[in-house]
Amino acid sequence: MFYLNDEFAESFQATDPYKMLKGMEGNVYRQVKTRKTFQFSLNGKGYFAKLHSGVGWLEILKNLLTLKFPIIGARNEWEAIHRLQELDIATMNAVAYGERGWNPASRESFIITEELTDTISLEDYCKQWTDNPPDFRTKRELIENVAGVARMLHQNGICHRDFYLCHFLLHQGAEPFPKLSLIDLHRALVRKNLARRWIIKDIAGPLLFCKDDRIE
Protein backbone atom coordinates (compact mmCIF):
# COMPACT_ATOMS: atom_id res chain seq x y z
CA MET A 1 0.00 0.00 0.00
CA PHE A 2 1.44 3.35 -1.05
CA TYR A 3 0.43 6.97 -1.29
CA LEU A 4 2.84 9.54 -2.75
CA ASN A 5 1.92 13.09 -3.67
CA ASP A 6 3.08 14.33 -7.07
CA GLU A 7 6.44 15.59 -5.82
CA PHE A 8 7.37 12.35 -4.08
CA ALA A 9 5.96 10.20 -6.87
CA GLU A 10 8.40 11.93 -9.21
CA SER A 11 11.33 11.77 -6.77
CA PHE A 12 10.76 8.09 -5.90
CA GLN A 13 10.03 7.04 -9.47
CA ALA A 14 11.39 3.56 -10.28
CA THR A 15 13.00 3.29 -6.83
CA ASP A 16 12.19 1.46 -3.61
CA PRO A 17 10.84 4.17 -1.24
CA TYR A 18 12.01 2.22 1.81
CA LYS A 19 15.53 1.88 0.50
CA MET A 20 15.62 5.52 -0.56
CA LEU A 21 14.40 6.79 2.82
CA LYS A 22 16.82 4.57 4.72
CA GLY A 23 19.67 5.99 2.68
CA MET A 24 18.70 9.63 3.19
CA GLU A 25 20.75 11.91 5.37
CA GLY A 26 18.98 14.24 7.75
CA ASN A 27 18.63 15.51 11.28
CA VAL A 28 17.65 12.50 13.41
CA TYR A 29 15.15 13.45 16.14
CA ARG A 30 14.49 10.00 17.54
CA GLN A 31 15.83 6.53 16.84
CA VAL A 32 14.86 3.37 18.67
CA LYS A 33 15.06 -0.26 17.68
CA THR A 34 11.86 -0.26 15.62
CA ARG A 35 11.39 3.39 14.64
CA LYS A 36 13.40 6.30 13.28
CA THR A 37 12.24 9.90 12.97
CA PHE A 38 14.30 12.36 10.98
CA GLN A 39 14.07 15.70 9.20
CA PHE A 40 15.23 16.12 5.61
CA SER A 41 14.96 18.51 2.67
CA LEU A 42 13.71 17.84 -0.85
CA ASN A 43 13.56 20.47 -3.59
CA GLY A 44 14.12 23.20 -1.03
CA LYS A 45 11.28 22.09 1.26
CA GLY A 46 11.50 20.57 4.74
CA TYR A 47 9.91 17.26 5.71
CA PHE A 48 9.78 14.79 8.57
CA ALA A 49 9.87 11.04 7.97
CA LYS A 50 9.07 8.21 10.35
CA LEU A 51 10.34 4.77 9.39
CA HIS A 52 8.84 1.77 11.16
CA SER A 53 10.28 -1.72 11.15
CA GLY A 54 8.60 -4.79 12.61
CA VAL A 55 7.89 -4.59 16.34
CA GLY A 56 8.00 -8.37 16.82
CA TRP A 57 5.44 -10.76 18.28
CA LEU A 58 6.73 -10.29 21.82
CA GLU A 59 5.82 -6.59 21.78
CA ILE A 60 2.42 -7.31 20.23
CA LEU A 61 1.61 -10.01 22.80
CA LYS A 62 2.82 -7.80 25.67
CA ASN A 63 0.39 -5.07 24.59
CA LEU A 64 -2.50 -7.48 24.14
CA LEU A 65 -1.93 -9.08 27.55
CA THR A 66 -2.08 -5.65 29.18
CA LEU A 67 -5.22 -4.77 27.17
CA LYS A 68 -3.40 -2.17 25.09
CA PHE A 69 -3.80 -1.64 21.37
CA PRO A 70 -0.42 -2.47 19.76
CA ILE A 71 1.01 0.19 17.45
CA ILE A 72 2.76 -1.73 14.69
CA GLY A 73 3.45 0.93 12.08
CA ALA A 74 2.72 4.27 10.45
CA ARG A 75 -0.89 3.54 9.50
CA ASN A 76 -2.16 4.69 12.89
CA GLU A 77 -0.66 8.16 12.44
CA TRP A 78 -1.71 8.34 8.79
CA GLU A 79 -5.35 7.66 9.70
CA ALA A 80 -5.28 9.95 12.75
CA ILE A 81 -3.95 12.88 10.70
CA HIS A 82 -6.80 12.55 8.23
CA ARG A 83 -9.36 12.24 11.02
CA LEU A 84 -8.12 15.47 12.63
CA GLN A 85 -8.23 17.21 9.27
CA GLU A 86 -11.86 16.10 8.87
CA LEU A 87 -12.57 17.75 12.23
CA ASP A 88 -10.71 20.92 11.19
CA ILE A 89 -8.10 20.49 13.93
CA ALA A 90 -4.80 21.98 12.80
CA THR A 91 -2.17 19.26 12.49
CA MET A 92 0.52 17.95 10.15
CA ASN A 93 0.03 17.45 6.42
CA ALA A 94 0.98 13.94 5.29
CA VAL A 95 2.44 13.80 1.77
CA ALA A 96 3.59 10.17 1.56
CA TYR A 97 2.77 6.87 3.23
CA GLY A 98 3.50 3.24 2.62
CA GLU A 99 3.46 -0.18 4.23
CA ARG A 100 4.48 -3.64 3.10
CA GLY A 101 4.40 -7.13 4.55
CA TRP A 102 1.49 -9.35 5.58
CA ASN A 103 3.02 -10.32 8.93
CA PRO A 104 2.09 -7.63 11.50
CA ALA A 105 5.16 -8.44 13.59
CA SER A 106 7.61 -7.71 10.76
CA ARG A 107 5.66 -5.20 8.67
CA GLU A 108 7.58 -2.17 7.41
CA SER A 109 5.95 1.24 6.96
CA PHE A 110 6.71 4.92 6.63
CA ILE A 111 5.00 8.29 6.74
CA ILE A 112 6.28 11.67 5.54
CA THR A 113 4.82 14.98 6.68
CA GLU A 114 5.55 18.54 5.71
CA GLU A 115 7.66 20.53 8.14
CA LEU A 116 5.70 23.13 10.11
CA THR A 117 7.92 26.20 9.85
CA ASP A 118 8.26 29.24 12.10
CA THR A 119 6.88 27.39 15.11
CA ILE A 120 7.87 26.78 18.72
CA SER A 121 6.56 24.05 20.99
CA LEU A 122 4.05 25.33 23.50
CA GLU A 123 6.20 23.83 26.25
CA ASP A 124 9.23 25.86 25.22
CA TYR A 125 7.09 28.96 24.80
CA CYS A 126 5.67 28.62 28.31
CA LYS A 127 9.10 28.05 29.84
CA GLN A 128 9.87 31.68 29.02
CA TRP A 129 7.01 32.90 31.17
CA THR A 130 9.03 32.89 34.41
CA ASP A 131 11.21 35.74 33.14
CA ASN A 132 8.94 37.15 30.46
CA PRO A 133 5.29 36.51 31.34
CA PRO A 134 2.64 37.29 28.69
CA ASP A 135 -0.45 39.35 29.32
CA PHE A 136 -3.53 37.74 30.86
CA ARG A 137 -5.40 37.69 27.54
CA THR A 138 -2.66 35.64 25.83
CA LYS A 139 -2.63 33.11 28.67
CA ARG A 140 -6.40 32.79 28.56
CA GLU A 141 -6.52 32.34 24.78
CA LEU A 142 -3.82 29.66 24.85
CA ILE A 143 -5.59 27.74 27.63
CA GLU A 144 -8.91 27.99 25.79
CA ASN A 145 -7.24 26.85 22.56
CA VAL A 146 -5.73 23.74 24.17
CA ALA A 147 -9.00 22.99 25.98
CA GLY A 148 -10.92 23.38 22.73
CA VAL A 149 -8.68 20.87 20.95
CA ALA A 150 -9.07 18.42 23.84
CA ARG A 151 -12.86 18.79 23.77
CA MET A 152 -13.04 18.28 20.00
CA LEU A 153 -10.82 15.19 20.17
CA HIS A 154 -12.67 13.53 23.02
CA GLN A 155 -16.15 14.34 21.75
CA ASN A 156 -15.20 12.55 18.54
CA GLY A 157 -13.71 9.48 20.20
CA ILE A 158 -10.02 10.37 19.84
CA CYS A 159 -7.37 10.07 22.54
CA HIS A 160 -3.97 11.49 21.66
CA ARG A 161 -2.21 9.40 24.36
CA ASP A 162 0.76 11.83 24.39
CA PHE A 163 -1.24 15.00 24.98
CA TYR A 164 1.59 17.15 26.29
CA LEU A 165 2.41 20.80 25.61
CA CYS A 166 5.51 19.76 23.65
CA HIS A 167 3.19 18.27 21.02
CA PHE A 168 1.45 21.59 20.40
CA LEU A 169 3.33 23.82 17.97
CA LEU A 170 2.66 27.54 18.28
CA HIS A 171 2.86 29.37 14.95
CA GLN A 172 4.87 32.49 15.67
CA GLY A 173 3.57 35.62 14.03
CA ALA A 174 0.34 33.94 12.92
CA GLU A 175 -2.77 36.05 12.54
CA PRO A 176 -5.00 35.64 14.41
CA PHE A 177 -2.79 34.73 17.34
CA PRO A 178 -2.52 32.17 18.84
CA LYS A 179 -2.60 29.37 16.27
CA LEU A 180 -1.67 25.88 17.45
CA SER A 181 -1.03 22.66 15.53
CA LEU A 182 -1.18 19.26 17.21
CA ILE A 183 1.58 16.85 16.21
CA ASP A 184 2.94 13.36 16.98
CA LEU A 185 -0.18 11.25 16.45
CA HIS A 186 1.80 8.01 16.42
CA ARG A 187 -0.11 6.53 19.38
CA ALA A 188 -3.51 8.18 18.83
CA LEU A 189 -6.50 6.03 19.74
CA VAL A 190 -9.75 6.35 17.81
CA ARG A 191 -12.90 4.74 19.21
CA LYS A 192 -16.65 5.13 18.75
CA ASN A 193 -17.01 5.29 22.52
CA LEU A 194 -13.92 6.62 24.27
CA ALA A 195 -13.53 5.31 27.82
CA ARG A 196 -13.37 7.95 30.54
CA ARG A 197 -9.90 6.81 31.61
CA TRP A 198 -8.48 7.79 28.20
CA ILE A 199 -9.95 11.27 28.51
CA ILE A 200 -8.50 11.69 32.01
CA LYS A 201 -5.10 10.51 30.79
CA ASP A 202 -5.07 13.10 27.99
CA ILE A 203 -6.19 15.97 30.20
CA ALA A 204 -3.54 15.11 32.78
CA GLY A 205 -0.78 15.73 30.23
CA PRO A 206 -0.88 19.56 30.15
CA LEU A 207 -1.56 19.68 33.89
CA LEU A 208 1.77 17.98 34.61
CA PHE A 209 3.48 21.05 33.21
CA CYS A 210 1.60 23.31 35.64
CA LYS A 211 3.03 21.72 38.79
CA ASP A 212 5.97 24.14 38.93
CA ASP A 213 3.68 27.18 38.44
CA ARG A 214 4.99 28.01 34.96
CA ILE A 215 1.59 28.78 33.49
CA GLU A 216 -0.42 29.88 36.52
pLDDT per residue over 60-81, tens digit each? 788 787 777 778 889 999 999 9
Confidence at 192, pLDDT banded by 50, 70, 90: confident
Instruction: Catalytic residue, from 118, 162, 212, 213: name it.
Output: 162
pTM for this prediction: 0.89
Q: Where are the domains of the chain?
A: 2-114, 119-212
Cα–Cα distance measured from residue 55 to residue 64, given in angstroms and rounded to the nearest whole number: 13
pLDDT at 45 over 50: yes
Architecture of the structural domain at 2-114: 2-Layer Sandwich (3.30)
pLDDT at 209 over 70: no
Q: How far is CA 131 from the centre of its chain?
A: 30
Q: Are 54 and 118 spatial neighbours (Cβ–Cβ below 8 Å)?
A: no
Average pLDDT, the chain: 89
CATH of domain 119-212: 1.10.510.10
Indicate if 162 belongs to the active site.
yes
User: Mean pLDDT, to the nearest integer, of 122-137?
Assistant: 88
Amino acid at 37: T
User: Mean pLDDT, to the nearest integer, of 126-154?
Assistant: 91
pLDDT at 128 over 90: no
